[in-house]
Chains A and B, each alone.
Chain A
């Protein structure tokens, strides 16, 4: 079973990298660009048939290591 995990900085945490990317894209003429937040992406494959159990495991991975909960939010999606 495959999952994707997206980790982004919380809304109230300054994302200077995202800001620089945003400004650069605006300089390239992307004038309707509203905002960009930069994040991290993990593809996780897990040996488990039960979706709920697998998702729980991925969630545990996020809490234990992948995400710094003080400054980051995360989203888990199943990859079909």
Chain B
């Protein structure tokens, strides 16, 4: 599920890889002065070292990607050679397909929910668990535990919890006299997405909380101390010290949340399979449905290319405009945020 991400990051680091062996020569014969021959040898050894990775990357990432791009121009059932070339039909079909357009809208909703609700919640928990608190290690572990659980187990678990009438959720609501709040959960076209988001939050907020905790550990206590002496309130210290210094972590966490939402599959597949009536379908589920249920490999590939482009454009833009500050260091960020 992480191909587009790994594509972006690997290609970013690849040039660096090529240079580093030359920068730190470990030549057993130090007497020879740096010459063209020497540089050539450095390049050669760099080449030798990167070839296995490049070959694997090429075969397992680039070639299949290229092939998917190729078959996205065909009407192809998955057998024999694709022959029925349809030009851009599969792509124009995307814009007429209410399911795919719905996927985009639902993906947008999930991203918006994540950024507006899930991440602030994770941040609040992180700040809370960064305080001196009895048993905080236990809490940290408890909140992180859902992230370790497999998506499939989570899915099965929650489809039982939210089973209408008989599930734990409805039983508990019933017991405390709030039966009216219970409902269709995953079974209603209007309730499925919020319920799903609840499960996603349960599953993933611990991960973002851990990121923030790690970021918080890196904030020098002296800053808070100095601010406190200057009379800054808790909120002011959070707003003007914690938040700016945590910004690099926040940016990474938003990035991961967005990519995660775009590629959401297993959890939804197990719980609702995209239903009821496409109300919880994501791009990957549509792709799977068209490719492996309907054997429309060409159209499924077009969806995968569209998904790849969306992820790629987002990843590049994000790196260019948002993450670039981080590569220049956290101090410049502070200046920019002042």
The yes or no verdict on A and B being binding partners is no
Interface residues of B (CB under 8 A from A): none
